[in-house]
Amino acid sequence: MVFSSKFSCPSLVLSLIFAIFWTATSALTCLESDDEGNFYPVYNSTWKYCVLLPQSGDKPAQAYGAQPDIESYLVADRAFAESLGPEYTVLTFCVFERYRMPSVHGVMINSEHLFRCYCNYDECNRHQHFSSYLKGLRKDNP
């Protein structure tokens, strides 16, 4: 009796190679900022995205690698999934967010607003100003 399978040995090997490659490439080196505003490259095998909060007014830029256990990737995953190959690629996903803080002792605390950009290749969050961030993305992806 001969059994057939949907998968041939070469396709199984290719699938395993792809899985290993995908796992290895999902780790990133992102810039992280300290309290003094200095940026340092940090590697983390669990990061899928680097994040930049560009400098705004008197607020210094902040940069970090997105932690999967802290942040939801759902919206960013959808945005980057829109990439269609070399013809159309999503390079960054930026979102302007409002966080309403709960009232403390009946006193309403002001909302906090954040402009945050996600990118998904090594050190893509290295620029502190939004305009230089966009120029850097353009230069890195001709």
Asked if residue 124 lies in contact with residue 138, where contact means CB atoms within 8 angstroms, the answer is no
Return the pLDDT at 131: 95
Domain segments of the chain: what residues? 28-140
**pLDDT value for 83:** 87
Q: What is the pLDDT along the chain (142 residues), one digit of tens a residue?
A: 444 444 444 443 333 333 334 344 468 999 999 988 899 999 999 999 999 999 988 889 999 999 877 667 888 899 999 988 888 999 999 999 998 877 667 777 788 888 999 999 999 999 999 999 999 999 999 9
Question: Is residue 49 helix, strand or coil?
Answer: coil
CA 87 to chain centre: 21
Token pair for residue 58? Answer: 């008197």
